[in-house]
Chain A
C-alpha cells in the first residue's frame, strides 16, 4: 500500500514532466528519475528517493527553459506535492518494512498529506496573487537580485530552524 503510493507519486512526477514538454532530453531525464524512484521503492533507500526528486526537479527546470510557457501554478504545486509524497512514502515504507503495523499508520499519514496538499494550494494561490501585485512595483533590473536574496533568505531561515530543532 505504502509502496504503491510512492510508485503513484513517481508516475505523477513523470507525467508532470511529460506534460511540460515533449522534449526527448527531458523525457530521458524523467526516465532516470523514474529509475531512481524504482530503486528507492524496491530497496527502500531514502537517498535514492532524494536523488530521484532532484533529478525530476532538474528535468522540470529544463522543460520550463525549453518551452517558455506561461506560469502554470497547478502543475508546479502538484510536482512539489508529488515530490513530498515520494519522499514521505519511501521513508514510511522503510520504517514499515519487516515491522508489524498497528493502528491507522498509513491512513493517518495519508490524511496529513491531503491536509498539506490543501494548505499548499491555498498558500500557492496566495503567493501567486501577492507576487502578481508586487511584480508591477519592482524594478526589472533588481528582480534577479531580489529573487536570489529571497532564495538565500529562505534557505538561511530553514538552516536556523534546523539548528533550533536539533
Chain B
C-alpha cells in the first residue's frame, strides 16, 4: 500500500505559503492569522497515523451472458479500524454501460462497520471482460494523507453473441457417416422409407411390408434411408469491418455465425470455425455442448486485425476444412482478398454458401442521414449489387443479409435459390 500526500495538502500549503509571504511583504499580522488555520491543519502531518485498514470482497452475479445482458457487481467493505474516508472505484470495463447505481463509492466507516454497495452493468457487445480489480483509496481524518492499493480477485465475464433461432438452414450436399438429421441416399437403418425388395435371410420381421407381401404372395421388406449428419465450417471474414459498435458488420457476422452454429449443432452436425483475417485461426469441427462452448469462446474474441498479407486457405488442415464439409462464408465483402479465397474454395469443389452482411445498411445506420450520405449509400449499394452478381455468375449461392432484417428470412430465400440451382444443373 502506497501512502502519499493528497492534492488537498498541496493546495493548503500553497495558500498558507502565499499568506505568510504576503504577511511578510505587507507587514500585516492579519495575513499570518489568515494562514494560521492552514498551518494548524498541516501541523497534523507531524503526528504519525496508523494506516486505515479495511477488508474488501466483491462478487459478480454471473460469469456468462449474452449481448445486452446485465450483471450486478456487489462490493462489501468491512472496516478493521476507523476509516475517515475510503474511496472505491469498481470495475467498469470498456464497452460496458452502467445500468443502475454507480461504480464509484465513498464511505466513512467506524471500526467493525460493514457496508455493501452494488451496481449493475450492461454489456451491449460480445467480449471477455475483467471485473476483478477494485481501486481503493483511503484518507486520514483531514484528507491530507492518502493510501492507495488495488484489490484483485480474478473475475472474468464472457459476453456471448446474441443468438436468433434458425429453422431454415443451408442444406449440405454431402453427409458424414455419423447419425444425424439428413436423409442420405444410402439405404440402411432409418425412418424414411426407401425401396421395397424381397425378403432375404437376416432381415428383421418388423421390416416386412405386409401389404406388398399379401398382394404378391411372397415376403417383401421395406428398406429405409440412412440418416446422417454433416460437417459445416463457418468461415468468418475478419479482414475489415464498418459501422459503429456494437452493430458493426463483424458484430453482425459473429451473431450470424453463433446462430448458425447453434442451429447446426442442434441438428447433430459437426460444426467448425475459421476466422480469416490478419490472424487466421480455426476450431476443428465437432458436435455437442462442448463444441458450442469452443465455438462461442472463439467468436467472443474475434476482432479485426489488419494485414497486407493475403492468407492462403491451404494452411488450414484438411481435418478442419474437410472436402466433404459445407462451408458457409460470412463476410461483408469489403476486402477483395476474402472474395478471392471464396472463389478459390469454389474452384476446389467445396460445397459453399456465401452469406454477405450488407455494410451499406450498417454504415447508413451509423451516419447522420444527410441527403449526401443517402446518395453515397445508394451508389455503394448499386456497386455492391454488381459485385454480388459477379460472384453469382461463378455459380456461388450468395445470400445478402441487410441487418436488421431477420437472418431467417434471408436463409429461407437462399434455400429456395439453392434448390433451383441444383435442379437446373
Indicate if the CB atoms of A50 and B37 lie closer than 8 Å. Answer: no
Let me know if B191 is at the binding interface, CB within 8 A.
no
Asked if B36 contacts A127 (CB within 8 A), the reply is yes
**A30 located at the interface, meaning its Cβ lies under 8 Å from any Cβ of chain B in the complex:** no
Determine the distance from Cα of A104 to Cα of B8 in the docked complex, in whole angstroms: 20
Q: Which residues in window 40-86 of A have CB below 8 A to B? A: 46-47, 49-50, 53-54, 57-58, 60-61, 64-65, 71-73, 75-77, 79-81, 83-84
B19/A57 in contact, CB under 8 A: yes
The answer to whether A83 touches B15, judged by C-beta atoms less than 8 angstroms apart, is yes
Tell me how far the C-beta of B118 lies from the nearest C-beta in chain A, rounded to whole angstroms.
9
Q: Is the interface of A mostly helix, strand, loop or mixed?
A: helix
B25-48 vs A, Cβ < 8 Å mask (1 yes, 0 no) = 111111111111111111101100
B102: CB under 8 A from chain A?
yes
Residues of B within 8 A of A139 (CB): none
B310 within 8 A of A: no
Cβ < 8 Å to A, chain B residues 117-149 = 117, 119, 141-145
Binds A, one of B103-111, B155-163, B285-293: B103-111
The one of B18, B37, B105, B109 that contacts A117, using a Cβ cutoff of 8 Å: B37
Q: In chain A between 81 and 114, which residues have their CB closer than 8 angstroms to a CB of chain B?
A: 81, 83-84, 87-88, 91-92, 95-96, 98-105, 108-109, 112
Number of residue pairs across A and B with beta carbons under 8 Å?
184
Q: How far is the CA of A155 from the CA of B18 in the complex (A)?
A: 10
Q: Is the CB of B30 within 8 A of A87?
A: no
> Of A64, A108, A161, which is within 8 A of B26 by CB?
A64
Task: Report the contact-size class of chain B (Cβ under 8 Å from the partner).
Answer: 35 or more
Complex CA–CA separation, A65 to B25 (angstroms): 10
Interface size bucket, A side?
Answer: 35 or more
Asked if A84 and B141 make an inter-chain contact with CB atoms under 8 angstroms apart, the answer reads no
Closest chain A residue, CB of each to CB of B46: A161
B9 within 8 A of A: yes
Q: Is B185 an interface residue (CB 8 A)?
A: no
B24 in contact with A151 (CB, 8 Å): yes
- In the complex, A46 Cα to B6 Cα: how many Å? 11
Which residues does chain B contribute within 8 Å of A49, judged by CB atoms? 11
Query: Is the pair B26, A103 in contact by a Cβ cutoff of 8 Å?
Result: no
A100 interface neighbour in B7, B28, B105, Cβ under 8 Å? B105
| Residues in chain B near residue A112, CB distance under 8 A | 141-142
Give the residues from 9 to 29 in chain A that come closer than 8 angstroms, CB to CB, to chain B. none
B17 in the interface, Cβ–Cβ < 8 Å?
A: yes
The answer to whether A91 touches B7, judged by C-beta atoms less than 8 angstroms apart, is yes
Our pick among A100, A116, A131, A151 for the contact of B101 (Cβ within 8 Å) is A100
B261 contacts partner chain A, Cβ-Cβ < 8 Å: no
Smallest beta-carbon distance B26→chain A, Å: 5
The chain B residue sitting closest to A73, CB to CB, is B33
A165 to B145, CA, bound (A): 8
User: A157 to nearest B CB, angstroms?
Assistant: 9
CB contacts (< 8 Å) of B106 on chain A: these are 95-96, 99-102, 105
Chain B residue numbers with a CB within 8 Å of A165 are 5, 9, 45, 144-145
Q: Which of B11, B28, B87 contacts A99 (CB 8 A)?
A: B87
Interface residues of A in 112-133 (CB under 8 A from B): 112, 116-117, 119-120, 123-124, 127-128, 131
Q: In the complex, A165 Cα to B104 Cα: how many Å? A: 27
Q: Which residues in window 148-166 of A have CB below 8 A to B?
A: 148, 151, 154-155, 158, 161-162, 164-166
Check if B104 sits within 8 Å of A77, measured CB to CB: no
Q: How far is the CA of A165 from the CA of B49 in the complex (A)?
A: 10
Q: Using Cβ atoms and an 8 Å threshold, which residues of chain A touch B13?
A: 158, 162
**Residue A138 at the B interface, CB < 8 A?**
no
User: Cβ of B14 < 8 Å from any Cβ of A?
Assistant: yes
Contact of B23 with A by CB under 8 A:
yes
Provide the bound-state CA to CA distance between A104 and B83, in Å: 12
Q: Does B84 contact A (CB under 8 A)?
A: yes
Which of B4, B7, B34, B46 contacts A46, CB < 8 Å?
B7
B12 interfacial contact with A, CB 8 Å: yes
Q: Does A141 contact B (CB under 8 A)?
A: no
Q: Which of A71, A80, A88, A161 contacts B29 (CB 8 A)?
A: A71
Residues of chain B within 8 A (CB-CB) of A1 are: none
Q: Does A144 contact B (CB under 8 A)?
A: yes
A61 contacts across to B, CB distance below 8 A: 22-23, 25-26, 28, 31
Is A147 part of the binding interface, using a Cβ–Cβ cutoff of 8 Å?
yes
Asked if A120 contacts B36 (CB within 8 A), the reply is: yes
Cα–Cα distance between A58 and B18 once the two chains are bound (Å): 8
Chain A min CB distance to B105 (Å): 5
Interface residues of B (CB under 8 A from A): 3-9, 11-43, 45-46, 84-85, 87, 101-102, 104-109, 113, 115, 117, 119, 141-145
| Cβ contacts A to B, 27 pairs, < 8 Å | A57-B15, A57-B18, A61-B31, A65-B26, A76-B34, A80-B34, A83-B15, A83-B34, A87-B8, A92-B143, A95-B85, A100-B102, A100-B117, A102-B105, A102-B108, A103-B109, A103-B115, A105-B106, A108-B108, A127-B36, A128-B29, A144-B24, A144-B27, A154-B20, A162-B13, A162-B45, A166-B145
